[in-house]
Structures are given as C-alpha cells and as structure tokens.
Structure 1
C-alpha cells in the first residue's frame, strides 16, 4: 500500500497495478499502455497541506509522445498550484489552456474529483470524460455521477474551445461509499465481432464484483474486459481505479 501524504502529488503516465491511500480515501489502481510502454492515459493524486483534501485527476489523450508528456506536466503543475483549494474545475481550465497552446490535434478528455474531509463532499468536474460511478455503502448497484445542471456548451474535451466553461458540482459521501474511475479504453474494448464493451456492461461487471476488497473489484472489471475481448487489452490504453471513502461526515 503506497501512502500519499500531505502536500504530496503522486502519479504520472507509467504502467501501474497497486493500492494507494490518503487520509480520506483508499484506492486500487491499474494503468497499462496498449504498447507496453508509457501511454496516453494520465493519473495523479494530490493531498493538500492540511491532509484533508484528496484530489484525483485522470486524463485520456488519443496519442503518445510529446502530447502526453506536456499534458502530464500541465496536470502536475495545476494540481500543485491548486492543491489547497476546492475548485477542481480550475484544473480543467488550466489544462484546456495547455492543450490550446500545444495545438493538440487528438481528442483529450479528463475528469477531476476531490474528496474533502471537512464537509464529506465529493467535488467533481468533467471535460468530455465518461462519468465516475458511485455505489453507496450497503447498496446493491452502481450509478453514474452526472452533472445535474451542466453549462451548454461546456464541459467539452480539452482544446475544443479556448473559453470552454467547466462546471463543478458536489455529492455527499460517507465512509464505505465507493467510486470507480476509468478511461475510454474500458468502454471501447472490442469483442471479436467489433462490438464495444460499453457502459451497461461496465455497470454489470461492477455489480457482479460484489463487496470484496478494492483490488478484487478492480480485477473483476479487468477479467470481464478480457473475457469480452477474447483475452487481450491491446486495443487501447486502459486505466481503472476503484476507490473507497475512509473518512467524512
């Protein structure tokens, strides 16, 4: 278990399969590039100076090389600058500027969430990214966390519009509630006939995983993906993260 401490930022673009924790959450992470090296998925955790705010940023870049390195650095810099604030959507605004400056030609989506021990709230924002899933402690099923009142047009993939608005909304969480983050490589995993895995199969895999350890939940989704594709995850970069709230109101 890797412990992320106050005023620390951890993550990047490297392949990973491990458990991490902060004062607010425990998580089990898997990230694998389709070519076996450093890929187009980015993940970062940050913890504020008072050890009360855990923020997670996840991004999916349709490309590798200089584009992924520039965005990874941009995420790190923005998380560092905004470590002690609740405005996670500001991270997306910063990244949108990075993408615009780089002139990225590939689709880039991102999600930023933060759990604050002070009020037990999840703060969440999306930039064209598939929604985070939540399962309440004791509940039987998982549900997507959608923006209730999104700005239109807004919350677009990074770099589409220079002045895109990124909304932030909140959701109350309690100890034992679980979250699941992922990139498009999960939804777009193809069956031998080309049909994609999709959101409904993901939800079914999450429901079927039960109430076991986070690592088992993560592995259950990966097993479902491999069963669907015929054994391979080489179609795209794949990142999944199963999380559980440790503290809060």
Structure 2
C-alpha cells in the first residue's frame, strides 16, 4: 500500500541520516566509505568516532538479512555506539561485548550481526582490533607494498547475552591503509554462478595500493560490476577505507583512565624455554619498548611469531658479547635517548674514525679508507675483516637510498642512485675498536625506519621468502647476520642510528642467530592504556 511504502521510505531516510559522513576527515586519518543497499532499508552498518583527539574507533557490521527487520537492528547498534562514544570507550573487545548484549536483548537471537572493530592510536600507530564473526579487515603496508589480513575470530553480535571477545594488536605506519567491507563483495555471483571472491578483491587492493582512496573505491566497484555483468547487487555492499597520513601530537588532551608514567620504566623479561612451552599471545598491555625476549642459542624459528606480536628486543642469554658491551647497559637501552650509542657502549676506544657524507660517490672512498685502516690493526681473523666491509657496504647503501622516504614511506631514490646530499641532511659513519670489539655506527637524519619494516624483513628471510621479486629488504637481514649484536634506535622523522658490533677475537659464523634491539622513541614514555 501507499502508506506502507511511505513508512519504508521514511525508515530508509532515517537510517541514512544515522550514518556518519562518507568522507572521513579526522586528525591523523582520512578516508572514504561507500554503502549501497539492495533494498530501501539495509542491514549494513559503519560508524567511526574519535576519543580525546587521539584514538580513532572504526566499526563495520552486517546484519543477517536486510529490510525493515535488519534496519531495526542497525538502529539499535547505532544507539549503542552513540552511548559508547559518550563514554569514550575505545577498546574494540569491550565495544563488541557491549553491542552484543544490546543486539541480544533487541532481537532475542532472531537476527545476528557481524562486526569488525578497530582502534587506531594516531600518536603511536598502535592498532587494536577485535572481530565478531565478520570478514577479516585488510591492512595495506605502503613501505612493504604488502597486504596483510587481520585474522581473528569471534561470535556474531547477539548470539549470547554475555560474550567476551579476544583483542589483538599490531602497528600501522604512515601511509598504511585499513580496508573493511561486508561479505557481499566477495559473495556476489556472476551469470555463471561464480563468486567474485577474496583473490580478486585482494588483487584490486594491491594494484591500487598507491592510488588515492577515491580511485581505489571506484576501481573496486568498477571491477566488481564488470565481473558480475550488472550494476545491481543482490545484497548490501559496504566499502570502508582509511589511511593513516600523519602522527598526532599531545596538545593537552589526555586519557583520563591512564596512569601517570613512572620515573623508571619497568622491564618485562620472557625466557625462551618458557615461551616455547607456553606459546600464548603476549599481552598487549606490555609495552613493547619495555619487553625483552631472552633467547637461547638458536631462536630464528621464533622470529616470525614474535614479530607478529611486536617483540623488537631479543638478547641471547649466553653470548660473550653481552659481557663486552655490559649486560646492564643492554637491558636498560630503552631508558636512554642517546644520539651516539657507539660512545655509550665503547667509552674508551683504542681507535676511532668518523666520516661525513656529502655525496653518494663518497661511499667507495670511505669504504676503502676503513678497509685500509682495519688492515693496519692486524685483525687475527681475516674473515671478520671481510664481513665488516660487507656490513659497511650494506649500511651505507641503506643510509643513502633506503632512509630517504616521502610521507607515505616510499623511497625517494632507487638503489645505486648517484646524488648529492642536501645541506641539512646528515649521514655520518663512526667506527671504533675497543678490547677486540669492532663497533660500526651509521646515523642519518631521516628517522624513517620502523619496527614493522625491520621485523618483517627478518621474518621473511628466516622463512625463505625475503628474496621474492619486488620484496627486497635483504640489506637489513644481512646486517643482522653479519653482526654479533645489532642495535637500531629511531627518533621518528628525526634520526636513525644503526650500530653493529663484531667480536674480532672469535671466528665469524654468519648462520648463528644474533641478538638485536630496536628502540623506537615515538614518545618519551609510551603510556598507552590497555585496560
């Protein structure tokens, strides 16, 4: 009847008015959402809000079915999200648990709703996420040209009165993108009864990885409609894509529930044997800057798993170099904000050389200078000398061509590019010898290397995937292999220090696993509330 049609039209208009603007413009984040309903009242849902000018909460959901009944559940979910926003709730697992209770009491299990929830800390790049039976979100890592799936399960909203959801954490770099969607994209079928599928979706996301978000959005819809041979969908379609384009700073807004930072940052140690016996997820409440994994002699098999959990400090328990560098000094590196780590570890060198680069052509001259200088030191193990020169070459090449990157993390120069360094660009090499220990340090003024990139390179190489076409990154892995201990300290967008140490008195074993620490000073104290 006309009255019924009017009521449906009013319900559809109300549902559209409940949605946030499709153009997403928040501090540190920008993006675009698109929702196409297959009927006047749909069952898809998206929402987003910001907490304290720092944390961005994103939700994408899908009610089982569409029409008036599904629209009612969407309205209930929206009301719940509005309340959670007023409470400044930012933990994805808590958001899902609260919404599940609301949907259960609204639909009494007659309808369920899937939802993926994320929270991005725009100051640190930490990304927390939880899932209530929804399609996994995708994370496109621009610096790696790599598409990751945020795989995590959970019951749909409304299945039970009280449901607890697991939450996981990863890190997102500047230029990276988060892509969420509803299942109709992969489940829509063409005339032959074949689904669009995940492989085609992932291909579009990778091919448009460096396109602007509007081009990605239209490209995906065009590819989908071309494959289907029609522009009408049998189910609601939602696409939600955001890009982390800048870090936000503390402008006086604080998390009211966060505890004040202590004067001394406590450490958490995880022993190799304990972790192997209890390979559970390391709590996201533990700050990764404070976490140290104490490894046995061979630990490379654990690197991929530890990397996914953001573990970036691994020290070998019984390696002789620990005594040479000072065990206490190594453990407390997160407390320091040094601009010259080499001097910290080697306070009284017998020999020290310093070189400043003004042009890429300086590389050959400086390597030859260091080679001749080391030859004069009568190093007993010549294989150590060869390894040192090889390491030096990789370090310098990374400083010249790997460090300079644009705002999206893309390299400004191809490997081997001949260039003059800018007047305000620093690239300094320091080499020291003390008590049979060789220390090599390279400092640049870019500060673009991130823990994600470093850990990813190590993981791919130990799994035998690092030399795939287009992946690259072999330099970081080789620098680690050539060192007895490797330390990286990064002040984002300011400075990167890479310090490699080699014991000249012992035989070189390139296959032995080596300790490393990546100190990433995104803030003075990474006080993130994980409660």
TM-score class, shorter = 0.7 to 0.9
- Measure how far apart 1:78 and its partner are: 3.4
SS of the equivalent of 1:105 reads coil
Q: Structure 2 CA distance, aligned partners of 1:16 and 1:34?
A: 20
- 1:119 is aligned to 124
Matching of residue 46 in structure 1 with residue 45 in structure 2: no
Larger radius of gyration: 2
Higher helix share: 2
Counterparts of residues 134-173 of structure 1 (less than 5 Å): 134-147=139-152, 155-173=154-172
Cα deviations by residue, 1:7-45 (Å, 9 ceiling, x for unpaired): xxxxx942899422100211111101012x331111111
Partner secondary structure for residue 38 of structure 2: coil
The answer to whether the 8 A contact 1:183-1:239 is kept is yes
Q: Which runs of 5+ in 2 are unaligned?
A: 1-13, 248-521, 523-531
Aligned counterpart, 2:445: none
Equivalent residue, structure 1, for 2:234: 235
The residue that corresponds to 1:29 in the other structure is 33
1:103-118 map, 5 Å: 103-118=108-123
Number of paired residues? 230
1:58 equivalent among 26, 44, 60: 60
Distance (whole Å) between structure 2 residues aligned to residue 88 and residue 210 of structure 1: 26
Alpha-carbon displacement from aligned partner over 1:71-100 (angstroms, at most 9, x marks no partner) = 433344335335524312111111211221
Is the 8 Å Cα contact of residues 86 and 123 (structure 1) preserved in structure 2? no
TM-score by length of 1: 0.84
Q: Distance in 2 between matches of 1:100 and 1:185?
A: 24
- TM superposition score normalised by structure 2: 0.41
Q: Distance in 1 between matches of 2:227 and 2:112?
A: 25
- Name the SS of the counterpart of 1:84 in structure 2: coil
Q: Deviation per CA, 1:163-186, whole angstroms, max 9, x where unpaired?
A: 332111111111111111100111
Which segments of 5 or more consecutive residues in structure 1 lack a partner in the other structure? 1-11
* Structure 1 counterpart of 2:215: 216
Q: Give the superposition deviation at 1:141.
A: 3.4
Alpha-carbon shift at residue 104 of structure 1 (Å): 4.0
Q: Which residue of 2 aligns with 1:177?
A: 176
Are the structure 2 counterparts of residues 17 and 196 from structure 1 closer, same or farther at C-alpha, using a change threshold of 3 Å? farther
Any conservation in 2 of the 1:24–1:116 contact (CA below 8 Å)?
no
Quote how far apart the aligned CAs of 1:190 are: 0.8
Is the counterpart of residue 202 in structure 1 residue 205 in structure 2?
no
Offset at 1:66? 4.0
For the Cα contact (< 8 Å) 1:127–1:156, is it kept in 2? Answer: yes
Q: CA deviation at 1:125?
A: 0.9
Name 1:7's counterpart in structure 2: none
Contact in 2 for aligned 1:174/1:247 (Cα 8 Å): no
Q: 1:18 and 1:44 mapped to 2: Cα distance?
A: 10
Asked if the contact 1:79/1:91 (under 8 Å) is kept, the reply is: no
Q: Which has the higher contact order (CA 8 A, sep 6+)?
A: 1
Asked if structure 1 preserves the Cα contact closer than 8 Å seen for 2:32 and 2:214, the reply is yes
Aligned equivalents of 1:164 and 1:81: distance in 2? 17
Say whether residues 1:192 and 2:195 are aligned partners.
no
Q: 1:66 to 1:107 in 2, by over 3 A?
A: closer
Q: Please give the alpha-carbon distance, in whole angstroms, between the structure 2 residues aligned to 1:96 and 1:195.
A: 33
The alignment yields a C-alpha RMSD, in angstroms, of 2.2
Higher share in strand: 1
> 2:93, 2:166 within 8 Å by CA — same for their partners in 1?
yes
Shift in CA distance, 53/210, structure 1 to aligned 2, threshold 3 Å: closer
The CA deviation at 1:63 is 2.6
The more displaced of 229-238 and 71-80 is: 71-80
